[in-house]
């Protein structure tokens, strides 16, 4: 069977909206992240890193700097089916506390 990569599906935008309701300056960067992710075709970490230069792999999660490194978005990614689960959006301080791990 031939594998054809498809654009990623982000689950869930609700997490992004809820965080932006508290941190209004995160609204635009989070939606920019969502659009880039949903229009991108990423079949591996190297391709993801080519679009999101600051992304890091931490254990089985991917951590993105958002809003000029003011916020952190933690996601799980299944490259083959093209799924991205947003696990948390955190301030830098919350991220450093490590509760998300």
Domain 9-97 has CATH 3.30.2310.20: yes
The ranges assigned to domains in the chain are 9-97
Give ∠ CA 65-7-86 in degrees, rounded to 5: 40
CB 54 within 8 A of CB 65: yes
Q: Which two tokens stand for residue 100?
A: 């998300």
Q: Is residue 3's pLDDT more than 70?
A: no
C-alpha–C-alpha distance, residues 44 and 1, integer Å: 19
46-99 per-position pLDDT tens digit: 999 999 999 999 999 999 999 998 999 999 999 989 999 999 999 989 988 887
Provide the angle, in degrees to the nearest 10, between the axes of the packed helices 27-39 and 13-22: 160
Q: pTM of the full predicted structure?
A: 0.91
C-alpha–C-alpha distance, residues 9 and 70, integer Å: 24
What pLDDT does 42 receive? 94
50-60 per-position pLDDT tens digit: 999 999 999 99
């Amino acid at each position: 069977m031939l594998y054809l990569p498809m654009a990623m599906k982000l689950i869930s935008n609700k997490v992004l909206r809820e965080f932006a309701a508290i941190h209004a300056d995160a609204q635009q960067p989070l939606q920019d992240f969502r659009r880039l992710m949903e229009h991108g075709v990423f079949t591996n970490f190297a391709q993801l890193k080519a679009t999101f230069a600051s992304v890091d792999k931490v254990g089985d999660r991917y951590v993105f700097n958002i809003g000029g490194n003011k916020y952190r978005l933690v996601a799980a990614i299944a490259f083959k089916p093209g799924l991205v689960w947003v696990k948390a959006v955190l301030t830098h301080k919350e991220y450093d506390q490590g509760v998300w791990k």
